[in-house]
Structure 1
Amino acid sequence: MRQQMIRALIYLAIILLMANISPVIDSFLHPEIPYFDPEHLLVGGLTATITALLLSLLISHANRMTKVAHELSLLNKTLREQSSRDSLTGLYNHRYFQEMLRHEFLLSQRYRTELSCMMLDLDLFKEVNDTCGHPFGDLVLKGTAEQILHEARTTDIVARYGGEEFAILLPNTDLEGATRIAERIRARAQEYTHQDKGLAMRVTISIGLASNRAHSPKKPEELLTFADQALYRAKEAGRNKVTAYSELPAGESSGSILPS
């Protein structure tokens, strides 16, 4: 209501101002015409009123268009954000992670900066679903995502890679720094108890690491593959471990048939 009154006063001021423009101009061009000549005041008033109404319509239309443009911008931003997020955990999804992997890898090559990649997998997650049911399994995934985010930095790109597997990109981070973060995530997951309606369970995480400086991947996919191979080595070593990538001995498999 207050804004409407202020707007009305502004329009009234515009009308009064413009109503005097025509007589003022005429008084300069035609000094013989009295300033307060009724005819000129009437013409000026009508001109000012019509102009003010047109101006009001234009301003109102511009305001509506600005509001619509702002709402569309927010909607597009929301849609983009939703399309890049995993619906269960709220983390970035597989597609977005792949895009950022290529982007960050190219940046690290161009500016010769460190880039590390972390692959994380819940240990024996199938047993969680088989024993406690899929709703509790979903709760474990969401709880794990929260624990990972608690230790990850705002500059890290954390994603649910698929199923019970997560992935993290760590820009400007060498292997040593990534290992410290991974150990904090592993320890936090080990101590966290997932609870729901009488069910309670701790679920550990195995983590594989790779870094561009330490392992010299030639393309983004290789960095991810190295981290994934390191994850399998962590599983083979007994789970609930952090393992960095290393060249596998000749004849040794890069994967494992062990349950995750």
Structure 2
Amino acid sequence: MKKSAVVFAGYFPTPFSVQVGKEFIDYFSAHFSDCHFYVGLNQAECNEQFVTLLAQSGLSYELRIAPAELTLNSDASAYQAALAQLRDSCRTDFDYVYLFHSKGATNVESKKLRDHFLPRFANRSHVEAVLDMDRIGSYSLFLSKSKLRFEDQLSGYFPFERPYFFTYLYFHTIYAFRAQPVLDFVYGCKAEFFRTNLKDRYFFERDFPHAIWRQGYAPFGDFIVNWNDGFPAGEVDLNSDIAVYLGRPLDFRIR
């Protein structure tokens, strides 16, 4: 039987954010209870309440809190802490790695996005069938294309075989990977990756998926979004029919 890991990044500064965290715990218990979890938390006032709920859930997990000097006001440093915990676990027996973060914990409006993303990822047979396709390495709901050219943030940490693909990102930072390229990066990158303040709250939205693509794997998105041309993903009315705005599902492959 194939195995999955879940990397979860959390930020819980308020009682409301803990309620969002509880929604994620319930979701994971319903749809990912067979998985092992690597949980990273930013330093925050209500972490203890969230950890208590997590301990009561029965989920299998390891947890790490991001050091103060690395903590950002986003999911980035919490993802970094969770991946550091994965590295220290030395496990290599996973087939898929899912990445989630506490979307909506600090922004009530993000509930609309959460309500669209989470049902998609609950359909794990669909996600994993995509990841089993030849050379596909990643899956998310929105594969976004931007006209902007971002700086390469990854080459200093890992000897990639392909150049940086400047214009693509996974909008909203919830996605799944074929495990092998993730593990190759996590265990093969320089230790500085886990010790450096990333200084960019969008690192895992914009940069981290390239760690998989630059190893020769292609991304898959159910929908492709021209981020700053026509319908910016952040302005899509998610209460409407997504297909009207974003077009047909697209298997996008880097050649």
**Higher-strand-fraction structure:** 2
Q: If the length of structure 2 is used for normalisation, what is the TM-score?
A: 0.25
**Which is bigger in relative contact order (C-alpha 8 A, separation at least 6)?**
2
What TM-score does the superposition give when structure 1 sets the normalisation length?
0.24
- The structure that has the greater radius of gyration is 1
In proportion to residue count, which structure has more helix?
A: 1
